[in-house]
Structure 1
Amino acid sequence: MILSPLPRLVIEPIVRTALGEDLGLAGDITSAAVIPADHHSSLVMVARQPGVIAGLDAAELAFALVDPAISLARHLPDGAAVKAGDVIATVSGPSRGLLTGERTALNFLGHLSGIATVTAGLVAAVSGTKASIACSRKTTPGLRALEKYAVRAGGGMNHRFALSDAVLIKDNHVAIAGGVAEAIRLARAGVGHMVKIEVEVDTLDQLRQAMDIGVDAVLLDNMTPAQLREAVDIVGGRAITEASGRITLATAAAIAASGVDLISVGWCTHSAPTLDIGLDAPG
């Protein structure tokens, strides 16, 4: 899969908001007081633990918005695996701007690299099976585009970006509509022919109802590997099969071995630990 960069129009409002939050009403009073205005530096971004890099565009933009005279030279691209001590990029320019933009740039880079790192771990765990790892809409408000990009940097796939992307009939839709069959019927009548329909099922009986009517994909929620294998047999290639619910790095391989097409994981975005990355003087 080719990792295409996000447009600047998508990234810039997010980075501007983060910088505004950090600068407050008076700006970086520490750097303004301590660092001479004409002082220049070159600093390196260094991985302090192994992982996968994501978020260099956001980090670079954080520095550029603080001071356009700052330049960032990449030594590794997004999606690259790093070990502790690897130099990711060199940032050069006015020292005040470097120190002002440092935390915002590292916040983006560390957070997004953390997502890419745990995604890469899940992808490795299901290697050799047909299953792909997909994220969900369980993202940090305002950061969805960046976090889903980080999943792609780690080798994963994206589920829906928004409620308007596709129909996903979940348990509460089913309960309110009066059953799986009725929910699917209403969905098909309510959307255009270009919109795909997926339904979440908790039981194999619900799955059979869904397949009798026909859907594009089925979300198999909180099923055991044995149940998933039976579900894959029931579907028989007539729809995309997606396993979801309490999936961990330890259980991903067994779930993938059931034959499902996708494994969707929410914690890879909402609970990924930050990758420790520092901005240091080269030494």
Structure 2
Amino acid sequence: MCEKMVICNKLVYKYPQSEDEQPKVAIDGLNLEVNKGEFLVVLGHNGSGKSTFAKHINALLIPTEGEIYVDGLVTSEESNLWNIRNVAGMVFQNPDNQIVATIVEEDVAFGPENLGLEPKEIRKRVDESLKNVGMYDYRKHAPHLLSGGQKQRVAIAGILAMMPKCIVFDEPTAMLDPFGRKEVIRTIKEINKKYGITIILITHNMEEAVEADRIVVMDNGKIVMNGKPREIFREVSLMKKIGLDVPQVTELAYELKQSGINIESDILTINEMVNALCQLK
């Protein structure tokens, strides 16, 4: 039986409104377990509750009702906050909001310094983290001179240097160009496989979601689909009903099948599509 990194038990979160209005329900009775070492993607349209869920994992938000446990620690107990935030790091959309220093290596050192580590250990972690995200050669650079993808990798290095067991990425590629997106997703995959760090990726990008071990689809604060990428994306009509797309090659396969061509409907990659078309001959 897999150990659990995150357990949500009937999780409810309501955003306070003005006195005349009812609180807005963003998370509505969420039950979810995330295994240690898993790469989980959370999909959903704007307002589905996915970013609100992400903020609960390192206790930026505390449940209105129900509970969420992170590595066995309940987030609603204030005495657990320090340990929870050491366990679960978070990377946001805009890397400029997370970069605090004027030199790359100083920025990466910021988290370990706050943990009170020895200078020698900090130096080791900074160098290793920058190497792991492919940014070691830029350690003396000014972050504001880097590209969006490079900045986001520096932000990831800053979290890595704190050695968390889990990293939550809240739409980390939303502000990046296609090359920057590929850089960041490759880095996320590598740290998941190399270190066994649990990854929870909130994204709108279906091609990114294909890389996951498992996908959870949220709508109106609830989980409406939960399964492996192939299981989720073969449900093209259901995904569209929710207001979401599927990977382009999956949609192409779906349209070909609708047209009477005998092709698998759960194709996820270009290579799979090429192989399927070759078999038709």
TM-score by length of 2: 0.29
Larger radius of gyration: 1
Q: Which has the higher strand share?
A: 2
TM-score by length of 1: 0.29
